[in-house]
Amino acid sequence: GVGMIAAGQCDVVVAGGVELMSDVPIRHSRKMRKTMLTLNRAKTLGQKLSLISKIRPDYFAPELPAVAEFSTSETMGHSADRLAAAFGVSRHEQDEYALRSHTLAKKAQDEGLLQDVVPFKVPGKDTVTKDNGIRPSSMEQMGKLKPAFVKPYGTVTAANSSFLTDGASAMLIMSEEKALAMGYKPKAYLRDFVYVSQDPKDQLLLGPTYATPKVLEKAGLTLSDIDVFEFHEAFAGQILANLKAMDSDWFAQNYMGRKSKVGAPPLDKFNTWGGSLSLGHPFGATGCRLVITAAHRLKKEGGQYGLVAACAAGGQGHAMIVERYPQ
pLDDT digits (tens, 9 = 90+) for 299-310: 999 999 999 999
**What residues contact residue 298 under an 8 Å CB cut-off, 6+ apart?**
188, 227, 228, 304, 305, 306, 322, 323, 324
User: From CA 139, how far away is CA 236, in angstroms rounded?
Assistant: 14
**Paired residues of 12 in beta bridges:** 174
Nearest alpha-carbon partner for 150 in 95, 201, 97, 85: 85
- Single pTM value for the model: 0.89
User: What's the pLDDT band for 62 if we cut at 50, 70, 90?
Assistant: confident
pLDDT at residue number 324: 97
DSSP-assigned letters across all residues of 202-249: TTTT-HHHHHHHHHHHHHT--GGG--EEEE--SBHHHHHHHHHHHT-H
Omega prior to 152 cis, within 30 of 0:
yes
Q: How large is the angle between the packed helices 236-246 and 76-86, nearest 10 degrees?
A: 40
Ordered structural domains, the chain, with CATH? 27-63 (no CATH), 73-167+186-324 (3.40.47.10)
Q: How far is CA 163 from CA 1, 118, 144, 248, in A?
A: 28, 20, 18, 29
Q: Is the pLDDT of residue 327 over 80?
A: no
pLDDT tens-digit readout, 253-297: 999 999 999 999 999 999 999 999 999 999 899 999 999 999 999
User: What's the pLDDT band for 77 if we cut at 50, 70, 90?
Assistant: confident
pLDDT at residue number 75: 82
Kind and range of the H or E run holding 68 = none
Nearest alpha-carbon partner for 117 in 136, 104, 133, 101: 133
Question: What letter represents residue 121's amino acid?
Answer: K
> Cβ distance 165 to 282 under 8 Å?
yes
> Cβ distance 140 to 157 under 8 Å?
no
User: From CA 245, how far away is CA 225, in angstroms rounded?
Assistant: 20
Q: Is the pLDDT of residue 66 over 80?
A: no
Three-class SS state of 174 = strand
Give me the percent of the chain exceeding a pLDDT of 90. Answer: 78
Q: Is the pLDDT of residue 251 over 90?
A: yes
**What residues contact residue 286 under an 8 Å CB cut-off, 6+ apart?**
167, 169, 232, 276, 310
Kind and range of the H or E run holding 187 = none
pLDDT tens-digit readout, 19-61: 988 888 888 888 999 999 999 999 999 999 999 999 999 999 8
CB atoms within 10 A of CB 46: 9
Half-sphere exposure of 99 (CA within 13 A, CB side): 13
User: From CA 116, how far away is CA 105, in angstroms rounded?
Assistant: 14
pLDDT tens-digit readout, 148-199: 999 999 999 999 999 889 999 999 999 999 999 999 999 999 999 999 999 8
User: What's the pLDDT band for 115 if we cut at 50, 70, 90?
Assistant: confident
**What residues contact residue 129 under an 8 Å CB cut-off, 6+ apart?**
117, 119
Residue-averaged pLDDT of the chain: 93
